[in-house]
Amino acid sequence: MGRSRETYNKKEVRSKKEKKRKEKEQKRLARKENEKKGNLDDMIAYVDEFGMISSTPPDPKKKEIIKLQDIETSIPKKDDTEQDPVREGKVVFYDKAKGYGFIKDSETEEKIFVHESNLFNEVEEGSVVRFEILPGKRGLTAVGVKLV
């Protein structure tokens, strides 16, 4: 049997495969070298007192000592100044058919829910009223609503 003939195309395909294999081997060796060279110091980032990221460590002379008792981990307490429990506001929405509406508090500009069971007088949109605020199921509720 005779030797198979290699055509130009077959030689070209074989040389491309060989070239690709050599390039892949070179890339693998380069990655291996970079892994050895890369150390942890190149990957560390520091955060300064202003929250900015830098590559230099903070100066130990500027270090501030904070006592554990000075750290507050709770919700700040509300002011002890008592607000008047009776407030005034304007009815911005009221649906007689459904029996509820909203009052805009004149001090805080907050909208407060009001139900018809908490009304002493009949109200309409635009009425100025006096009321007290109590926490309800879904937020603040106006109670004891009277026309001014």
Tens digits of residue pLDDT in 15-46: 999 999 999 999 999 888 877 665 666 778 88
pTM over 0.85: no
Pick from 109, 140, 106: nearest CA to 118: 140
Q: What is the pLDDT at residue 57?
A: 86
The model's pLDDT over 35-74, given as tens digits with 9 standing for 90+, comes to 766 566 677 888 887 888 988 888 888 888 889 888 888 8
Beta-strand relationship, 111-115 and 140-147: parallel
Decide which of 2.40.50.140, 1.25.40.10, 3.40.50.1000, 3.30.70.60 is the CATH code for 86-147.
2.40.50.140
**CB distance 119 to 129 below 8 Å:** no
User: 139 pLDDT band (50/70/90 cuts)?
Assistant: confident
